[in-house]
Amino acid sequence: MRFISALLASLPLFAFGEAKVPADEHFRVDTVAGGFVDAMEIAVTPRGAVFVIERTGALKIVNPESGEIKLIETLPVEVRKDQYARECGLLGITLDPNFAKNQWLYLYYSAKEKSVHRLARYQFDGKKIHSPKTLLEVPQDRENGTCHEGGSLAFGPDGCLYLSTGDNTCPFKSNGSAPIDEGPDRKWYDAQRSAGNTNDLRGKILRIKPTAEGGYTIPEGNLFPKGTDKTKPEIYVMGCRNPYRISVDQKTNDLYWGKVGPDAGKDTSRGPRGYDEINRARKAGNYGWPYFSADNKAYTDYDFVTKKKGAKFDPAKPINTSVNNTGLTELPPAQPAFWFYSRASACAGPVFYADHYPTDQGGLPKALDGCLIIYDWTSTWMRLIKLDEKGDIAWNESWLGKYRFVHPGDMEMGPKGELYILEYGSAWYDGKDGKLKRVTYSDTPQVIEAPASDPRMAGLPTDHPGTALIAGTTCLACHSTQHQSIGPSFRDVAKKYQNDPKASETLAEKIIKGGVGVWGEQPMPPHPQHNIEETQQMIEAILQVPTK
**Residue 237 to residue 287: CA distance in whole angstroms:** 7
Task: Supply the DSSP symbol for 229.
Answer: T
pLDDT of 86 reads 78
Angle at 44 between CA 42 and CA 46, to 5 degrees: 165
Contact residues for 503 (Cβ-Cβ < 8 A; gap 6+): 497, 539, 543
CB count within 10 Å of CB 392 equals 9
Contact 389, 13 (CB under 8 A): no
Q: List pLDDT tens digits, range 164-176.
A: 999 999 998 998 8
pLDDT of 520 reads 60
Domain definitions of the chain by residue range: 1-34+366-451, 455-543
Q: What is the Cα Rg of the chain in Å? A: 23
**Residue 11 to residue 19: CA distance in whole angstroms:** 13
Number of H helices, E strands in the chain: 6, 30
Residue 95 main-chain phi, psi, to 5 deg: -105, 145
Contact residues for 453 (Cβ-Cβ < 8 A; gap 6+): none
pLDDT of 546 reads 85
Paired residues of 308 in beta bridges? 303
Contact 144, 190 (CB under 8 A): no
Amino acid at 50: V
432: left (phi over 0), alpha (psi -120 to 50) or beta: alpha
**Residue 168 to residue 140: CA distance in whole angstroms:** 7
**Residue 161 to residue 172: CA distance in whole angstroms:** 32
Contact 205, 162 (CB under 8 A): yes
Q: List pLDDT tens digits, range 313-347.
A: 999 999 999 999 999 999 999 999 999 998 889 99
Contact 37, 434 (CB under 8 A): yes
Contact 57, 109 (CB under 8 A): yes
Angle at 369 between CA 367 and CA 373, to 5 degrees: 100
Task: Supply the DSSP symbol for 100.
Answer: H
Task: Supply the DSSP symbol for 18.
Answer: T
**Residue 236 to residue 534: CA distance in whole angstroms:** 43
pLDDT of 417 reads 98
The torsion angle over the Cα atoms of residues 520, 522, 524 and 525, rounded to 10 degrees, is 150
H/E run at residue 58 = strand 58-62
For the residues of 327-343, what is the DSSP string, one character each? S-SBPPPBPPPSEEEES
Contact 350, 371 (CB under 8 A): no
**Which 3 state secondary structure label does DSSP give 89?**
coil
**Residue 548 to residue 537: CA distance in whole angstroms:** 22
Domain 455-543 homologous superfamily, CATH: Cytochrome c-like domain (1.10.760.10)
Contact 291, 241 (CB under 8 A): no
**Residue 422 to residue 152: CA distance in whole angstroms:** 13
**Residue 320 to residue 61: CA distance in whole angstroms:** 45
Q: What is the 3-state secondary structure (H, E, C) of 61-86?
A: EECCCCCCEEEEEECCECCCECCECC
> Could you state, in chain order, the average pLDDT of each consecutive group of 10 residues for the chain (548 residues)?
33 44 95 97 98 97 98 94 78 98 98 96 98 97 91 97 97 92 96 98 98 97 98 98 97 97 91 96 98 98 96 98 98 98 93 96 96 94 95 95 93 98 89 95 88 71 75 69 73 80 74 66 66 74 81
Contact residues for 228 (Cβ-Cβ < 8 A; gap 6+): none
Task: Supply the DSSP symbol for 324.
Answer: T
pLDDT of 83 reads 62
pLDDT of 538 reads 81
SS3 content of the chain, % helix, strand, coil (to 5): 15, 35, 55
